[in-house]
Structure 1
Amino acid sequence: MDSSIAATLLLKLLLGSVLPTASADRNGISARDIYEEMEHILVDNKGTNSDGLVNAITPCSNYINGDDTDGEQSSAQWVRIAFHDIATADVAAGTGGLDASVGFESNRPENPGLFINQTIGFFNPDVSAYVSMADMLALGVVASVATCGGTTTDIPLRTGRVDASAAGPSGVPEPGTDIDTTLSSFAAAGFDQSEAIALTACGHSLGRTHYTNFPDIVDESYVTTDNTDGGQEFDSTPAVFDSAVVTEYLDQTGEKGGPLVTTTNETQRSDFRLYNSDQNATIESLAASEDSFQTQCNTLFAKMIDTVPSDVVLSDPITPMPWKATDIGLDISSSGSVSVAGLIRNLYGASESAASSVSYTYTANGTNSSAVETTGSAGSGSSLYGTTAWYNFNTTIESPGTTALNINSAISYPINVDIFVLPAKSSTNTRSGTVTLYAAALSNIATDSDTMTATFYVATSQTGSRANTVTTKTVTLTESGAAGAYTLYTASATGLSSIGDVIVKVSMGDYASQTVKTSIFG
Structure 2
Amino acid sequence: MKWYGCINWLESTRGENHGLFVNDSLPFFKPTANAYLSMSDNAALAVVAVAKCGGSSSGIKLRVGRIDATSASPAPCEHSLGRVHNPDGPNVFNSAFVTATNLDRVEPFDSTPGVWDPNNINEIYLTSTQPFKVCQRRQHFKKPEKKNTKCKSLSEKMIGVVSSKVTFSDTVQLMEWKAVDVMMDISLFGDVSISGLIRNLYTTTQPPKNISYSTTSSTGNSSTGTSSDLSGTGTSIFGSTIYWPLNSTIALGTTTLSFSNVPCPVNGNIFVLPAQSSFYSSSGSIIVKSATLTSVSGNEDMTAVLYVPTKQKGTISLKIVQQNVTLTSFSNARAYTLYSTGTKKVSSTGTVIIRVSQGGSSSRIVKSTTFGSKFASILRRWVGIMWLGNESPHFDVMRIIDSLSYRYTEMEMMNDST
Task: Specify which of 140, 147, 165 is matched with residue 285 of structure 1.
Answer: 140
Q: Equivalences for 1:30-429 in 2 at 5 Å?
A: 75-76=1-2, 79=3, 81=4, 83-85=5-7, 102-107=8-13, 111-143=17-49, 145-170=50-75, 172=76, 204-208=80-84, 210=86, 213=89, 215=91, 222-227=97-102, 231-249=106-124, 252=127, 256=128, 275-276=132-133, 278=135, 281-287=136-142, 289-350=143-204, 352-365=205-218, 367=220, 369=222, 371-400=224-253, 402-409=254-261, 411-429=262-280
1:511 to 361, 369, 392: 361
2:285 aligned partner: 434
Q: Give the superposition deviation at 1:211.
A: 9.2
1:474–1:293 distance in 2 versus 1, CA, 3 Å: same
- 1:444 partnered with 2:298: no
Aligned residues: 372
| Mean CA deviation greater in 320-329 or 428-437 | 428-437
Amino acid at match of 2:209: S
Going from structure 1 to structure 2, the CA distance change for 1:367 and 1:444 (only over 3 Å counts) comes to closer
Q: Are the equivalent residues in 1 in contact too, given 2:84–2:93 (CA < 8 A)?
A: no
Equivalent position amino acid for 2:330 in 1: S
Q: Quick one: distance in 1 between partners of 2:282 and 2:80?
A: 44
RMSD: 2.6
Q: Which residue of 2 aligns with 1:473?
A: 323
Distance between the aligned counterparts of 2:340 and 2:257, measured in 1? 26
Cα distance in 2, alignment partners of residues 362 and 116 from structure 1: 46
Amino acid at match of 2:288: L
Distance change in 2, residues 1:422/1:218 (3 Å) = closer
Question: How many angstroms does 1:517 deviate by?
Answer: 0.6
Tell me the residue number matched to 2:391: none
- 1:283 Cα deviation after fit: 2.3
Contact kept in structure 2, 1:158 and 1:314, CA below 8 Å? yes
| Unpaired stretches in structure 1, ≥5 consecutive residues | 1-74, 86-101, 175-202, 263-271
Alpha-carbon distance in 2 for matches of 1:462, 1:219: 32
Gaps of 5+ in 2: 373-418
User: How far apart are the structure 2 equivalents of 1:211 and 1:472?
Assistant: 36
Following TM superposition, by how much is the alpha carbon of 1:302 offset from its aligned partner in structure 2, in angstroms? 0.8
Amino acid of the structure 2 residue aligned with 1:486: Y
Aligned partners of 1:459 and 1:469 also within 8 Å? yes
Residues 378-425 of structure 1: CA deviation (Å, up to 9, x unaligned): 12111222221100111122113x21111111x111111111101111
Q: Which has the higher helix share?
A: 1
Q: SS of 2:339's equivalent?
A: strand
1:258-278 deviation per Cα after TM superposition (whole angstroms, max 9, x unaligned): xxx87xxxxxxxxx5xx3375
1:156-179 CA-to-partner distances (Å, cap 9, x unmatched) read 111111112112235x279xxxxx
Q: Alpha carbons of 1:474 and 1:209: their partners in 2 closer, same or farther (altered >3 Å)?
A: closer
- Contact conserved, 1:360 with 1:372, CA < 8 A, in 2? yes
Return closer, same or farther for 1:338/1:499 CA change in 2, 3 Å cut-off. Answer: farther
Q: Structure 1 250/509 Cα, relative in aligned 2: closer, same or farther at 3 Å?
A: closer
> 2:77 and 2:290 mapped to 1: Cα distance?
53
**Superposed displacement of residue 109, structure 1:** 7.3
Question: Aligned equivalents of 1:377 and 1:214: distance in 2?
Answer: 48
Q: Give the TM-score normalised by structure 1.
A: 0.66
Q: C-alpha distance in 1, partners of 2:190/2:88?
A: 65
For residue 337 of structure 2, give the secondary structure of its aligned residue in structure 1. strand
What's the TM-score, normalizing by structure 2? Answer: 0.81
Sequence identity percentage: 38
Partner of 1:458, secondary structure, is: strand
Deviations 1:426-470 (A, max 9, x none): 12223322112211111123344x111212111111112221001
